[in-house]
Structure 1
Amino acid sequence: MGSFSIWHWLIVLIIVLLVFGTKKLRGLGSDLGGAVKGFKDGIKDAAAEDPTAEASPPAPQQQQQVKDGQTIEGEVREKTKS
């Protein structure tokens, strides 16, 4: 069983064109191309961001209070006007 010849591939291409039509295949190709372009743009934007932001030290952990042997965690929030 050898590989397919050029004639086999041409027959498969003709069948695909008959089944899906050129309009659907053209739309599929443009959608796929747009998705790839968007992905590449996203990668470039991520690489263009400040590289020092990734190397920043981690945020300090919240202080914990101990009362009667139990740990109490909490955070301070500003009062908002209602």
Structure 2
Amino acid sequence: MGISFWQILIIAVIVILLFGRGKISDLMGDVAKGIKSFKKGMAEDDTADASQSQSPKTIDHKPADTVSAQKTEDQSKAS
């Protein structure tokens, strides 16, 4: 047993009579504003996270002289 079209129609008419068309449209407008506010807040959080993750990273490189000196030492030890 499911809900028929007529039962849904009767419930819709009762809801409209109780709340009126103006209150329902105001309620739907408030819901839409809430969704927009939520999306805006999520977008601001994403941009804040992205700016924090793009902080400069330091890489410790050895100078070229040190690398070549180590290769020379390694080659002399291998001989």
* TM-score, normalised relative to structure 2: 0.60
Find the residue that maps to 1:4 and give its secondary structure: coil
Runs of 4+ in 1 over 2 A off after TM superposition: 50-54
Q: 1:38-70 CA deviation, whole Å, 9 max, x = no partner?
A: 00111111112243636x8xxxxxxxxxxxxxx
Higher strand share: 1
The count of aligned residue pairs is: 55
| 2:23 aligned with 1:24 | yes
Structure 1 residue matching 2:27: 3-state secondary structure: helix
Correspondence list, 1:65-76, <5 A? none
Give RMSD over aligned pairs. Answer: 2.0
Deviations 1:7-59 (Å, cap 9, x if unpaired)?
A: 111110000000000011111110111001100111111112243636x8xxx
If each structure's helix is expressed as a fraction of its own residues, which one has the higher value?
A: 2
Query: Which structure has the bigger radius of gyration?
Result: 2
Q: In the alignment, is residue 40 of structure 1 matched against residue 43 of structure 2? A: no
**Secondary structure in 1 aligned to 2:2?**
coil
**What's the secondary structure of 1:49's corresponding residue?**
helix
Q: TM-score, normalised by structure 1?
A: 0.58
For structure 1, the 5+ residue unaligned runs are 57-82
Gaps of 5+ in 2: 56-79
